[in-house]
Amino acid sequence: MNIVFFHPDLGIGGAERLVIDAAVGLQNRGHKVTIFTSYCDPKHCFDEARDAE
């Protein structure tokens, strides 16, 4: 299944952690996950957001 998340800012915070954890969990179950965001600073984000394929 293709799953899309829309989140305005992938900085470091609780909501961002939930989005990243949900995306990783769904990928681990074999789903294709895409996250659209208007802002993601590679110096201030979770490793999973920075290392996304």
Helix (H), strand (E) at residue 38: none
**What pLDDT shows up at residue 53?**
57
Backbone phi and psi for residue 43, each to the nearest 5 degrees, phi listed first: -90, -10
For residue 4, the SS3 value is strand
What pTM did the predictor assign? 0.85
**What pLDDT shows up at residue 37?**
94
How many structural domains are present in the chain? 1
**What pLDDT shows up at residue 52?**
67
pLDDT digits (tens, 9 = 90+) for 8-17: 999 999 999 9
Query: CB–CB of 35/10 below 8 Å?
Result: yes
Identify the domain containing residue 37 by its residue range: 2-50
**What pLDDT shows up at residue 49?**
87
pLDDT digits (tens, 9 = 90+) for 12-44: 999 999 999 999 999 999 999 999 999 989 999
Q: Rounded to an integer, what distance in angstroms lies between the CA atom of residue 49 and that of residue 40?
A: 8
